[in-house]
Amino acid sequence: MQKSQKEEPTAIAIENADSAKALDEQKTQSVCVDPVVDEYHVKLGWRSWLVVFIICFVNMTQIFVVVAAGSVIAFIIRDLGDASISGWIIQGPLLMQAVLSPIVGRLSDVIDRRYLVSLPPLIAFAGAVISARAESLSILIGGGILIGFTLSTVAIIKAVPAEVLPLKYRALASGLRFVGGATGGL
């Protein structure tokens, strides 16, 4: 095979880069691409949306845990007594969140997120049962500390809808999660 007489240069020398000839050689041909042709329909099943609504519920309960104790702390002190340590009812779960959030956040990059999102709520459920049956303020605080395990997943539950939904539905999932959070604060 013979090369054609008019061969395109593949590189331009540095000293000739500003010349008019070099600028003419750098012109490229633009190609229009229709984005609709390249798109394909993603069929989402009920499981994907179930995961999104579970994440909304988790966000609601996490915010409810933080908000609810402050509104009923006077009644808790009246029933269980020992007002000197009542601040730990609110601070216990938040302290667990502060301690465990960096650890859980880093582990979510290494380990699969679904385990780190599903296991702490089981610990929190045990804490909720302990708190519901508490006969002293110390037991209630211990249950609250167990509930704090699930607060450490606040940062990683935001990433779960991004893993199960295509890009065009992520804003909707984020909005639903915000509605869940707003409901928890009521």
Neighbours of 46 (CB within 10 A): 7
Flag whether 94 is in a domain. Answer: yes
CA geometry: angle 10, 15, 16, nearest 5 deg: 55
Flag whether 8 is in a domain. Answer: no
Flag whether 114 is in a domain. Answer: yes
Flag whether 165 is in a domain. Answer: yes
Residue pair 159/108 in contact (Cβ under 8 Å)? The answer is: yes
Range in 1-15, 78-92, 138-152 with the lowest mean pLDDT = 1-15
Which tens digits make up the pLDDT trace of 46-69? Answer: 898 999 999 999 899 889 988 888
Flag whether 144 is in a domain. Answer: yes
How far is residue 129's CA from residue 127's CA, in Å, rounded to a whole number?
A: 5
The total of structural domains in the chain comes to 1
pLDDT at 38 over 80: no
Single-letter amino acid code for the residue at 112 = D
Q: At what angle do helices 87-110 and 46-80 cross, to 10 degrees?
A: 150
pLDDT for residue 175: 93
pLDDT for residue 145: 94
Which tens digits make up the pLDDT trace of 96-149? Answer: 999 999 999 899 888 888 788 888 889 999 999 999 999 999 999 999 999 999
pLDDT at 19 over 80: no
- What is the pTM assigned to this prediction? 0.69
Flag whether 61 is in a domain. Answer: yes
Question: Which CATH number do you get for residue 108?
Answer: 1.20.1250.20
Flag whether 33 is in a domain. Answer: no
Which tens digits make up the pLDDT trace of 156-167? Answer: 888 888 888 888
Flag whether 105 is in a domain. Answer: yes
Q: Where in the sequence is the domain holding 93, given as residue range(s)?
A: 46-181
